[in-house]
Structure 1
Amino acid sequence: MTDLELATAADVRLMQTLAQRVTATRPELINADASYGELAWIWGKGHAAQGAHWPRKLWFAGKAGADGGEPVAWAWAQLPRQVKLSDGSVKDITGAYLAYQIDPGHAELVDEVIAWYDHVAVGLERTVLPSAGDTYALERWAAHGYTSDPSELGDHGSWTQLNERDLTDLEEPVLADGFRFLTADEAGPEAAVRAHVDAWHTSAYSVEAYESVRATAGYRGDLHLLVRAPDGTMACSAIMWLDEVNRTAEFEPVGTHPAYRRRGLARALLLQGMHLARAAGATHMTVACLGAPGYPAARGLYYSLGFRPFTRDTPLIKPATAPVVTPATARDSAPAPDRDSGPER
């Protein structure tokens, strides 16, 4: 195994098994981008266009995957790259970002994760989002020179908070006349993609990316919900990811067309989604949102539906340093993928 092996669908499935174990025992330690549904969504929507810039490493208890060992840690770097957006613009990502997760029983592996990240992102500005509840990891990141990211501490930081509620006492959804719920199975791929792109107008999402999302473990077209307006526009949409092991479901992403906001459609969509998730076997629901003060709309909607904050990210940064250029580091620090400015929620 080299330090620049790229993340594959099989890797993501192994990462999801670790997410399920951590969710069962220490859910407050689930890192940003490391939940069961988030892993599938991020990999599916981006790997075709950006996966060549996504090196990863996995740590196993016992022998590796195929030989029966189970993953106890993983690290997934997103390196500098260009991202072509749906409005025709191109976004240059110049720094590195790390998603990672460690089994609480193997917390000492955080030092190996940090060392691997510093190696593959040598010379680059490096960011990471540990869980605020993981005090040991935060101490170790600080010991390796990572500090609070000042650009993330203001009103418009892109860190996220996780919100949760149980699925008892659900209100019934109410749609205005002429609006209708559809699943992605009913609406079809083009409608599902258009709903997302209209909500996130600079998204790089595409039908090709959606096909990859559909192929990930946990995706179900009957748990991908849309609202169709009387004129045929897909006014809002959300995917629900059902973790059958823990009987929990996650909304990711959630989005509403700008022309249809503030009409109660997202509220109705989320209520209908929770009813569908409960019918599929879930007893608990989560949804993430941007947590900075400058983004109150989604947070207020979720609170009005009974969600309450559970945990949050701690944005850390390590400044770029000039690398010592050797043949090995020249390969390792070649331009790699960029990270989107924030989750499409």
Structure 2
Amino acid sequence: MENLGPTELRLMQGLAQEVTVLRPEPLNGDATVGELAWVWAKDFDALSPFWRHRLWFADGRLAAWGWAHLPYRAPRGDGTFRESRTANLLWQVHPDRVALLSDILDWYDDVAGGVDRLLTVQSADLHAQTTVAAHGYAFDAEVGSDDGPPWVQFNIRELTDVPDPVLPEEFRFLAAGDVPVAAAVKAHRDAWHPSSFTETAFERVRRTWPYRADLHVLVAAPDGTLAATAIIWLDESTQTAEFEPVGTHRDFRRRGLGTALQLHGMQMARSAGAKRMLVACLGAPAHAEARNMYHGVGFRALTRDLPQIKVAR
């Protein structure tokens, strides 16, 4: 299947909901409700020609899925390019259907062709680690090292005893509904420079379940600059919320805005019905700033990525 549309996305998010309830430890950090919504919506226009996916059903219900990102080269608005020369696999299986991972890996071999293949498994998912090794994958020591390129740590926090946020004088909290679309997009681009995020992409984000403008929170500086931004994805059925993405304008960092926005966002999520919060962050000790911020507001590590590579022969 080549056209990954809203219907297929919603099915994949439904499996994420089931895994979150049954056993969150093997829930892949790129396969959560919020992460799926964010990645699909923001990248659809630029990267969907390079996507392939397949869904596996059992007893009429989605039991597993694979989403392959093939090599690509796509322009950014500033004249630079986003590109990848490898294939990358996002995937998830139901905890009762773990044997389907072998089928996903066979399918991935077929669609990836003659390029290096990447994927991740979770440190808590011993079955997946054994399965990918049997299919020729090995731990990517360069990407997964303590001082190498970033890998992701998955964190969780129960939404009890959330302290009140404290902003610097004359800074204030806003929601996305309080600002023009162009301003919300600029806040993201300022926080994640260089960024290919566009107003068209944001419009798709806004139409993607479970986005809510009141849970897209921002911090405004005294001069009106949107200095920090975060989207909270609330899954009411599991009472779970997720931050994705979170970022601070490069001119306003190290002033406590990220911490304040996290605490404000958690209070907003709790008021909306969430009982727990998820967030992914860079996990390597050499990239400790974001992890320390999340741990400083009460998150704890749930699991971490173990990057895997299968070199093309």
Q: Name the TM-score class by shorter chain.
A: over 0.9
Q: What is the CA distance between 1:86 and its match in structure 2?
A: 4.4
Is the contact between residue 174 and residue 218 of structure 2 (CA under 8 Å) also seen in structure 1?
A: yes
> Which residue of 34, 45, 54 corresponds with 1:37?
34
> Which residue of 215, 233, 241 corresponds with 2:233?
241
Residue 153 (str. 1) matches residue 150 (str. 2): no
- Partner of 1:98 in structure 2? 89
Is the contact between residue 132 and residue 311 of structure 1 (CA under 8 Å) also seen in structure 2?
A: yes
Alignment partners' CA distance in 1, 2:89 and 2:18: 21
Residue 210 (str. 1) matches residue 207 (str. 2): no
Q: Which moved more, 1:284-293 or 1:85-94?
A: 85-94
Q: Count the aligned residue pairs.
A: 312
- Partner of 2:50 in structure 1? 53
Is the contact between residue 32 and residue 130 of structure 1 (CA under 8 Å) also seen in structure 2?
A: no
Alignment partners' CA distance in 2, 1:85 and 1:159: 24
- Partner of 1:335 in structure 2? none
Q: One-letter code of the match for 1:78?
A: H
Residue 194 (str. 1) matches residue 154 (str. 2): no
Q: One-letter code of the match for 2:196?
A: A
> Which residue of 2, 7, 10 corresponds with 1:10?
7
Q: Which moved more, 1:251-260 or 1:163-172?
A: 163-172
More strand by share: 2
SS in 2 for 1:239: strand
1:113-262 → structure 2 map (5 Å cutoff): 113-154=104-145, 155-262=147-254
Q: One-letter code of the match for 1:101?
A: Q
Bigger relative contact order, structure 1 or 2 (CA pairs below 8 A, ≥6 apart): 1
- C-alpha deviations, 1:255-298, integer Å up to 9, x for none? 00010001111111111101100000001111110111221111
Is the contact between residue 144 and residue 150 of structure 2 (CA under 8 Å) also seen in structure 1?
A: no
SS in 2 for 1:294: helix
Instruction: Give me the CA root mean square deviation.
Output: 1.1
- Partner of 1:23 in structure 2? 20
Q: What is the CA distance between 1:9 and its match in structure 2?
A: 1.4
TM-score normalised by length of structure 1: 0.88
Gaps of 5+ in 1: 63-68, 322-345
Q: One-letter code of the match for 2:14?
A: T
Percent identity over the alignment? Answer: 49
- Partner of 1:327 in structure 2? none
Residue 271 (str. 1) matches residue 263 (str. 2): yes
- C-alpha deviations, 1:101-156, integer Å up to 9, x for none? 00010111011000000000010110001111111111111011000112213313
Alignment partners' CA distance in 1, 2:250 and 2:186: 13
Alignment partners' CA distance in 2, 1:245 and 1:133: 24
Q: One-letter code of the match for 2:72?
A: R
